[in-house]
Chains A and B, each alone.
Chain A
Amino acid sequence: NAGVMQNPRHLVRRRGQEARLRCSPMKGHSHVYWYRQLPEEGLKFMVYLQKENIIDESGMPKERFSAEFPKEGPSILRIQQVVRGDSAAYFCASSPPLAAGEETQYFGPGTRLLVL
């Protein structure tokens, strides 16, 4: 059973460009979470999605950031018009539906975004 997959692992963008980060959850997992880790800091929650629904986006910046988890395909975290302050590691985690008996969130390897 493959783990959570994220791509790309490293992404370099110039200021003003768009960044698209992809996350494929573990098989059987329908819940996806995105976290951001700024340099020298811990992880901060951004958004929690189930298939086709955003459940909690309280950690998402109000502008330029959006997330989706379509019925088919990976979850996408999209950052428009990136700025240097967006440089960070972005982690995706997935978990199975409630009552599956395995409530732990499993994390992907992260995408390191560098904005020049």
Chain B
Amino acid sequence: AQKVTQAQTEISVVEKEDVTLDCVYETRDTTYYLFWYKQPPSGELVFLIRRNSFDEQNEISGRYSWNFQKSTSSFNFTITASQVVDSAVYFCALSEAIPYDKVIFGPGTSLSVIP
């Protein structure tokens, strides 16, 4: 069965610190997709990244970077030099067969960046 675990419920950091959000997933399929979404206090869901299971290259986008480790079934997300605007709930998610399957979301990690 599919499952996504985000062990960190809440994290607080001081502005300009780096922070890593952990994500561990379970799936029996060999082809799957991993996602990160951001949900700011306004409530909408903002797509951040999609990664397919065959692409283990790490990705960097500005202050954001993602570390995909198939061997440990992890897809961690790091924010460098955090800013107050990064305060949000971050969801890691998994899908086994887009677009014919549902996205399974983790419980989310609430990040607070303190000025």
Say yes or no: A42 contacts B44, CB within 8 Å. no
Overall SS of chain A's interface: strand
B64 at the interface (CB under 8 A from A): no
Residues of B within 8 A of A41 (CB): 107-108
Say yes or no: B43 contacts A33, CB within 8 Å. no
Restricting to B26-84, which residues have a CB under 8 Å from any CB of A? 33, 35, 37, 43-45, 47, 50
A41-B107, A42-B108, A109-B44 known; A103 and B98 CB under 8 Å? yes
Contact surface of A with B, Cβ cutoff 8 Å: 31, 33, 35, 41-45, 48, 55-56, 58-59, 89, 91, 93, 95-98, 103-107, 109-110, 112
Contact surface of B with A, Cβ cutoff 8 Å: 33, 35, 37, 43-45, 47, 50, 91, 95, 98-108
